[in-house]
Chains A and B, each alone.
Chain A
Amino acid sequence: MLEYAFMQKALAGGMIIALACSVISFFVVVKRLAFMGMGVSHAAFGGVAIGLAAGVDPLWSAGGFCTLVALGIGWLSRRGRMHEDTTIGILFTTAMALGVIVVGLARRYNLDLMSYLFGSVLAMSWADVIAAAVLAFIALAFVVLFFKELLFVSFDEETAIASGLPVRLVYYGLLATMALTIVISIKLVGIILVSALLVIPGATGLQLSRNYRGVLLVSVLSGLSSMALGLYLSYRADIPSGATVVMVMFGLFLLAMVLSPRRSWMRRFVRSQRQGWIANH
């Protein structure tokens, strides 16, 4: 399949996207930002619609828009005496409504917009791959450089504030990083499904390890392998790429759940099998 240029681009872009998403996914899961990820990715609809209507590359319009929405959610939840999920519910629906109005004003059925909703392997250009690489590099650099602060803030924000860490900077940085990661993923995976990439790998990691190093490793490995396998299956069976990647990811998550040392029923099952084996031999 790699003789086709579009698959080369999809695979190169896909790997970059999967790496960035799996790393951010760790924080999405431990800091409970799953709904935030969903909200910001759906808000991208507004950004994409504005970009298409204004003739700007939707990657950039959605990038700016999602970052603003993510920071807006963070700011309002800290200022406005509202819970984070309320703010997310308000801002992401409003952003989508704005997108619908912009599409309506453009007065034509936009096929392009549909491909942004569900993603397409055909959508990635080399320019997109390069843009994804640059933005993913920025996102990963932020995570590496501020890892200990991010970990502390995710674990126990109150003490992190008291010990003088730049908690606000770290929190807004994480939100902006998440927004960038979402934006580079929507062409391939689509607005509707991108939040799966931000939740499932981290959740898979948490099933198999009790330490963040292991969780991160499993998250990245499962993210990369589901992306590769998902793209391959979508090519072979001619089915939508984003959805296939998500299905593979979910399959790996189920597998991790069954194998998880956290689940005592599995341990009991293994033990009883072993004891049965010993008794029989």
Chain B
Amino acid sequence: MAGRCRVSEFFSGGAGTPRAVIELRDVWVELDGRLVLEGITFSVDEGTFLGVIGPNGAGKTTLMKVILGLVRPARGEVRVLGLQPGELRHELHHIGYMPQQVLFDPIFPVSVYDVVMMGRACCIGPLRFPTRKDREAVRESIRAVGLEGLERRPIGELSGGQQKRAFLARSLCLETRILLLDEPTAGLDAEAQESFLALLNRLKRERGLTVIFVSHDVSVLARFADSLVCINRTMHLHGSPQEVLGSERLEEAYRCEFDFLLGEGAPRRGW
């Protein structure tokens, strides 16, 4: 596949200097005739941890979808792994995505192992069945998130924190280079949150993953992120956590949530 070669070229060429795996240049997004993102520009270097903060309805989830190529920007340029959104379709196995909330039925009859195997589905390809390589990748991924021994447990019987780990394993079991996590720690208690973040940080280090982590919990991101982006429809800040959190403009970004809601109606969730 032509696309695959291009991504391996992307990773093999020019070692040493960090390269931007994700680049957004002046991205504007409209959903149903409403501007959701305005003039977003930032880049993420390989192997770094970017935190995306912003109030509810700020367009954080839409930003994720733009990166995944699921939402086309009205204007601007997006490059992920050096590819344009259209070319990215065949390279999605390099990107692991964890949605804000996996809305699954707790009695859905699948085990942890089955859920993680779902992550391999696009890699295996249609009309084909999992091979030994796939099964090994799944087991390795389950080990990496510390769920060994629970492979055969129904997913609905796991605790919230364990379920999140299972979904993380699912997004890791491909040739994952980029992890997009949309509020992965929402709904977890402090302890589970802490251990999830520690796990994520370890995986990032060990595997050289590029992590984009959306949250509105600023304090969590401040400890783990290499850099932060604060968006509220438009981009307010981009820099190291110290710069962003020390800035007066952070407050401004959050305050305009109020204006935004009054002016534009309730925040929306768009596919």
Contact = CB atoms under 8 A, between A and B. Distances in A.
Interface of A: 30, 32, 145-146, 148-149, 151-152, 154-156, 158-166, 206, 209-212, 214-215, 262
A158 B89 contact: no
Given A156-B102, A158-B103, A30 B108 contact: yes
B122 to A, nearest CB: 5
B109 interface: yes
Nearest to B99: A158
A161 B119 contact: no
Interface of B: 65, 68, 70, 89-90, 92-93, 97-99, 102-105, 107-111, 114-115, 117-119, 121-122, 124, 126-127, 129-130, 152, 154, 157, 167, 170-171, 271
A148 B124 contact: yes
23 contacts: A30-B105, A32-B105, A148-B129, A148-B130, A151-B110, A152-B118, A155-B110, A156-B104, A158-B271, A159-B167, A161-B70, A162-B68, A162-B70, A162-B99, A163-B122, A164-B89, A166-B126, A206-B107, A210-B109, A211-B114, A212-B114, A214-B109, A262-B107
A146 B103 CA distance: 22
A264 to B, nearest CB: 13
Contacts of B99: 156, 158-159, 162
A211 B111 contact: yes
Contact of B154 (A148, A152, A160, A211): A211
Contacts, number: 87
Given A30-B109, A206-B107, A212-B109, A163 B119 contact: yes
Contact of A151 (B90, B114, B124): B114
Q: Sort A-B residue pairs by CB-CB distance and give the 8 closest, nearest first.
A: A164-B92, A162-B97, A152-B118, A210-B154, A212-B109, A163-B122, A215-B109, A164-B122
B130 A211 contact: no
Contacts of A30: 105, 108-109
B115 A163 contact: no
Contacts of A215: 109
A149 B117 CA distance: 11
A180 to B, nearest CB: 19
